[in-house]
Amino acid sequence: MTTTLRTRVAIIGAGPAGLLLAHLLDRAGIASVVIDRRSRDEIESTIRAGILEQGTVELLDTLGPHSRARTVGHRHDGIELRFEGEGHRIDFAETVGRAVWLYPQHEVLKDLIAARLAAGQDLRFGVTAEGVEDADTTRPRVRARDADGDVLEIEADVVVGSDGSRSVARAAVTGSSQGGFFREYPFAWFGILCEAPPSADELIYSNSPDGFALVSQRSPTVQRMYFQCAPDTDTAAYSEQQLWDELQKRVPGTELLRGPIFQRDVLRFRSFVAHELRRGRVALVGDAAHTVPPTGAKGMNLAIADVRLLAEALRRLLLEDDERAFDAYPERALARIWKAQHFSWWMTSLLHVAPDATAFDRRRQVGELRSVVDSAHGRAYLAEAYCGWPFDD
């Protein structure tokens, strides 16, 4: 059986980018349909990163009481860079007068989904996009299949691929499912969640001879921590005691508060930017368009920044018949994307120990860390990027 649906904007992927886009379009009076192959429960329970830029929080404020970023999340006015056993605070308030919020991505997703459902959004879980057709016409189409195997065709004025790093929409834009600038790294992060209170008030990004570690947080009772590992590390390779030993030796000077570890994962490091972000009436946002390594927590924030631009471009295209902002979307989005690519790469190389690092490389790296923390300009550079570059709109 085939069902055909007609809407103005077909959005593939109910991640932060797709859901926020649907919300912003709705505020402008533009109808959309959002599909995602995952169940609502899977979307709301997958643990991802936890830092929101100030601009992200401000955009989420438009959800009204549905956004709990300011009430359940925590504002952080700085981070600590630690190296050679000493901590150096980067004070966001003092350097750039901005802040970040610690509020996990899956909580953002719960807020967005609740807001969309309350607004009567056509939001379909368990529907898998199989392809996007007719990108070069004014009636692009998404071909999808629901959980029962029935075909769903969505005809729209515009199709948006917000369907993550394994995007189906990307092929319609770049001509292949890969199609991009790509870089891999010789390390990954071993992440844990544990039942323990915070070991420190703020996040600690720690460089040590044994490799990098990040002491982050989730809530007053659950902590998130990561340490640098080889990309092919098996999550079962470490006992709980070995995990604590690995983490602790990389954060000298702070005694980590321990508790039962209830989740482990290995995060691969990749940098990717699609060769094209738009073709005809099909556009890509978020991880479908780009991936950054996790250091500096730019991934979700960058997706939200894409959506901010695209929502305005679609408003002008669909309500005012003005194509200019939609035509300019790739160029404008790419300016920020490449800044974030650079920042994520830079934070990564600043803090991690490459497997082939020489004694020279180690000393040079400490010199670079000192150049940042000893200089008001260095601290401000890092703080501005971390809190999110201001928008020019």
Chain residues in the site for ligand DHB (CB under 6 A): 49-51, 203, 214, 216, 224, 294-297
- Please pick, among 16, 23, 66, 76, the residue that the annotation labels catalytic: 76
Question: Is 366 in a helix, a strand, or coil?
Answer: helix
Measured from the CB of residue 127, what is the shortest distance to ligand DHB in angstroms? 29
Q: CB 101 → ligand DHB: shortest distance, Å?
A: 11
Rounded CA-CA distance 337/276 in Å is 13
**Which residue among the candidates 23, 294, 329, 352 is catalytic per the annotation?**
294
For ligand DHB, the closer of residues 281 and 298 by Cβ is: 298
CB of 118 to ligand DHB, least distance (A): 28
Residue 59 carries which side chain, given as an amino acid letter?
L
Q: Which of 23, 290, 298, 352 is catalytic?
A: 298
Alpha-carbon distance values, 277 to 24, 106, 219, 393 (Å): 20, 26, 36, 20
CB of 53 to ligand DHB, least distance (A): 11
Instruction: Give the H or E element holding residue 265.
Output: strand 261-274
CB of 344 to ligand DHB, least distance (A): 9
Nearer to ligand DHB, 40 or 74 (CB): 74
Q: Which is nearer to ligand DHB, 32 or 216 (CB)?
A: 216
Catalytic annotation on 294? yes
Q: How is the beta sheet containing 9-12 ordered, strand by strand?
A: 122-125, 32-36, 9-12, 158-161, 282-284, 278-279
Residue 76 among the catalytic residues: yes
Q: How far apart are CA 8 and CA 159, in angstroms?
A: 9
Q: Is residue 226 flagged as an active site residue?
A: no
Question: Residues for the chain: how many in total?
Answer: 393
- Between residues 160 and 215, which has the closer beta carbon with respect to ligand DHB? 215
Question: How is the beta sheet containing 100-102 ordered, strand by strand?
Answer: 51-53, 100-102, 74-76
Residue with smaller CB distance to ligand DHB, 314 or 347: 347
Question: Which residues lie closer than 8 Å to 356 by C-beta, 6 or more apart?
Answer: 186
Residues forming the active site: 76, 205, 294, 298, 386
